[in-house]
Amino acid sequence: MTTPDTDGPLSVSVVICAFTEHRLADLTAAIDALRGQSRPADQVILVIDHNEVLLRLARSAWAPGAEILTNQGAPGLSDARNTGVAAATGAVIAFLDDDATPEPDWLEHLVAPFADPRVVAVGGAAIPRWESARPRWWPAEFDWVVGCTYRGMPTVGGEVRNVLGATMAFRADVFAGGEGFSLVVGRVGASATGCEETELCIRLRQHRPDASILFEPRAVVHHRVTPARERFAYFARRTFAEGRSKAAVARLVGARDALSTERSYVARTLPAGVGRGLVSTCWRGDLSGAARAGAISIGFLLTATGYGLGRVGGLARPASASEDGDFVPIRLVQLELTDPSPPAAAPGYRRARVLVRSEGRPVGTTDVPLDEGRVGPVAEARIREDFGSSTPRPSPTVASPRAIAPGVSVVVATHDRPRELQRCLDSLLATHYPCLQVIVVDNAPSSSVTRDMVQHDYPTVTYVHEDVAGLARAHNRGLQHVAAPVVAFTDDDVVVDPSWVRSLAAQFSSDRVGCVTGLIWPAELETPGQAMIEAHGGFGKGFATRTFDLDGSRPDDPLFPYTAGALGSGANMAFRTDVLRELGGFDPALGAGSRGRGGDDLAAFLDVIEAGYSLVYEPAAIVHHHHRREAGDARTQALNYGIGLGAYLTRAVSRRPSSAIDFLRLAPRAVVHLVASSSAGDPGLGADRVRRLLPWQLLGLVRGPFVYARSAREARRAPQGAS
């Protein structure tokens, strides 16, 4: 790049970058339109990005009228543009896409604002030129997907954060000192990535706070949209890639500046677009309006997912990889404050996680190093001192839980895990709770082993067979056999605490309580996979009894009640039987074993709360859960959690379409909440970082809506099974 003469009218160089001969007709139209400009370019530079065939065609067609160059750097749009900048002689350097055709006065309007010395960049308007017809489902809010001006941008011009790559111009001195387009971002070939002009504009503003970047809507180009780009597959791929590109920009210039425009876009433009689509459908009978509203929601989720993946650095990591050396297994021990006896010894362990209890109730937890397999006297004294002020916190609604003791049925669904089921049943029967009914639902078994074991070893346990796979369907089958006013559910891979049934049942003294959940504590943390699941899953919900409903006990949480899962999980939950039956039980399109993979518990919690009942979290109701052992299992579980969450939210919207606006409004907070809550845990020394599971959960979240739609159709067609 030479230093231009700034006296008199500003000279202009126009740079076009091309990478494929398949756009030769578009490139020809762009160069022909440049020759007919009302304000002619002083220099036209065509940069060919590592394509010898296109280079020969370009030289034969447009030399010497245009300077034909080859990209001297790495393949991709960023270095191709940098090559053009290096050869430019104008005081202003304009950029035009090879598939964009400018209006005759494009360059005149694009350059005019540079008469103000404060202006360092100007962007024009790119109008989509659909090769066939604009898809009716395509929302104008997402025209940026095809590189065009979108709804939400200024309509009359003015200051913007960044310009659009298809039609933009910069003052040449912006590139002085070797500054240019970053190679960390930017499109390579036909890839869907981008944001190189966004990063440059933000960096420019950071270096020159008084600089002005303008949008000039009269500088119009018509951007061709091929049939391949009119498809939903491209829409999905491009929105996902945009999120990853934004993550790269955030790493370069900071998340605050990288997302400054997007915050307003997400908070205002997208909800308004969803509202317009739904109004169009509800009031005008235009079904494409609902499709546009859905596309906006899906586009946002895909972009947010791409951003989340980009921020945490990818989807996969070898199961054997470890950032902190060999994993240190964690021994689970308990300490009762009213018992002077020290915690049990743990020979061979270097670290312990202590569940501190006072008169049986859990009051807290702490991790401590072990001295020759024991909690040392100093560490024990510190624990007793730190938690010594903790006293049992009885239920505020129950004065004498032993006097109430309502009948309880416990449903345990199982699938080909007789050994784990036997351990669970032994712990249930050891609770010695009066009026206890235990129901085992054998869900789509591959053999009669479980049936034979239950009928032979546990004659007091009710055995039920359910042919169709799915946890929700198994729970509903068990619900049909419940004879007690309270029904509890747990998994076959847990061991229940001796007071589990009683602690759950005691909370149902009020008729307004529809559901009670409890504390899920790990049974072991012997492997990196188990430690990652515990740190990522957030099974522990605290040590205080809490009541949540839509009235006086509504939490100070804008995401409530859609965060009902923050109150518990399906491995430890109980319902008033008549309430659960009144609500229709569990959604068979959700839950492990179905395509929905999860979310059946969350949906039931939401149903209870929206029906006007209270949901109580009671930490004294403890189950000890055996997490999966392998690191690959942790990733699978994170993926399934995400699918279940996405399916559950889709169900909520399908049942109450008006909630879509609330969901879109709350979506930014929800993504932040999900990222923060899923990445905060410490899995322990030698375990892979928990944030590595977040991409899998986000990927599952995006798949959830599609999965639920298919799972719901299959659930409607599935037979009811045989009892």
DSSP string across 366-433: EEEE-BTTB--HHHHHHHHHHHTT------TT-S-HHHH---EEEEEEESS-HHHHHHHHHHHHTT--
- 244 is a domain residue: no
Same domain assignment for residues 462 and 536: yes
Distance separating alpha carbons of residues 717 and 84, to the nearest angstrom? 61
Query: What per-residue confidence (pLDDT) applies to 681?
Result: 58
User: In sequence order, what are the residues at sequence separation of 6 or more whose Cβ sits closer than 8 angstroms to the Cβ of residue 486?
Assistant: 406, 407, 408, 409, 504, 505, 508, 574, 575, 576, 577
Same domain assignment for residues 217 and 353: no
Same domain assignment for residues 420 and 381: no
Same domain assignment for residues 345 and 379: yes
Query: What per-residue confidence (pLDDT) applies to 401?
Result: 42
What residues make up the domain containing 171? 12-229
Last residue of some domain: 229, 257, 287? 229
CA-to-CA dists, residue 70 to 172, 530, 617, 693, angstroms: 21, 54, 66, 42
User: In sequence order, what are the residues at sequence separation of 6 or more whose Cβ sits closer than 8 angstroms to the Cβ of residue 651?
Assistant: 587, 589, 590, 599, 603, 708, 712
Q: For residue 369, what are its two tokens?
A: 């190093």
Query: What per-residue confidence (pLDDT) applies to 669?
Result: 66
Sign of CA dihedral 257, 262, 263, 265: positive
Distance separating alpha carbons of residues 574 and 615, to the nearest angstrom? 10
Nearest by Cα to 626 from 488, 526, 489:
526
Give DSSP secondary structure letters for 97-121: ETTEEE-TTHHHHHHGGGGSTTEEE
| SS3 readout for 485-550 | CEEEEEECCEEECCCHHHHHHHHHHCCCEEEEEEEEEECCECCHHHHHHHHHHCCCCCCCCEEECC
> Which residue is associated with the tokens 């008469």?
115
Same domain assignment for residues 349 and 454: no
Task: Name residue 596's amino acid.
Answer: G
- 240 is a domain residue: no
Distance separating alpha carbons of residues 436 and 428, to the nearest angstrom? 9
- 200 is a domain residue: yes
Query: What per-residue confidence (pLDDT) applies to 397?
Result: 43
Same domain assignment for residues 28 and 112: yes
Same domain assignment for residues 360 and 408: no
Query: What per-residue confidence (pLDDT) applies to 399?
Result: 38
- 496 is a domain residue: yes
- 250 is a domain residue: no
Distance separating alpha carbons of residues 231 and 240, to the nearest angstrom? 15
User: In sequence order, what are the residues at sequence separation of 6 or more whose Cβ sits closer than 8 angstroms to the Cβ of residue 382?
Assistant: none
Please answer whether residues 368 and 351 qualify as being in contact, where contact means their C-beta atoms are separated by less than 8 angstroms. Answer: yes
- For the chain, the C-alpha Rg in angstroms (whole number) is 31
Same domain assignment for residues 629 and 508: yes
Last residue of some domain: 163, 195, 229? 229
Please answer whether residues 53 and 123 qualify as being in contact, where contact means their C-beta atoms are separated by less than 8 angstroms. Answer: no
Which CATH number is 602's domain given?
Answer: 3.90.550.10
Please answer whether residues 668 and 267 qualify as being in contact, where contact means their C-beta atoms are separated by less than 8 angstroms. Answer: yes
Same domain assignment for residues 406 and 541: yes
- 3 is a domain residue: no
Distance separating alpha carbons of residues 437 and 482, to the nearest angstrom? 8
- 41 is a domain residue: yes
- Return the SS3 of 283: helix
CA-to-CA dists, residue 114 to 89, 200, 417, 633, angstroms: 16, 18, 73, 58
Would you put residue 360 in left (φ > 0), alpha (ψ -120 to 50) or beta?
left
How many other CB atoms are there within 10 angstroms of residue 419's CB atom? 10
Query: What per-residue confidence (pLDDT) applies to 285?
Result: 83
Q: For residue 628, what are its two tokens?
A: 């999966």
Give 10-residue mean pLDDT values along the chain (723 residues): 60 93 90 94 93 89 88 84 92 94 96 94 95 91 92 88 92 82 67 76 87 94 91 86 84 79 88 92 86 91 84 47 60 92 86 92 92 89 83 45 75 93 96 94 92 95 94 96 97 96 95 95 87 73 88 72 75 96 94 83 92 94 89 75 84 81 70 61 56 73 84 76 42
Last residue of some domain: 229, 255, 277? 229
Same domain assignment for residues 569 and 696: yes
- 378 is a domain residue: yes
- Give the HSE-up count for residue 133: Cα atoms under 13 Å, Cβ half-sphere: 3
Number of structural domains found in the chain: 3
Query: What per-residue confidence (pLDDT) applies to 714?
Result: 82
Same domain assignment for residues 195 and 339: no
Length of the chain in terms of residues written: 723
Same domain assignment for residues 561 and 594: yes
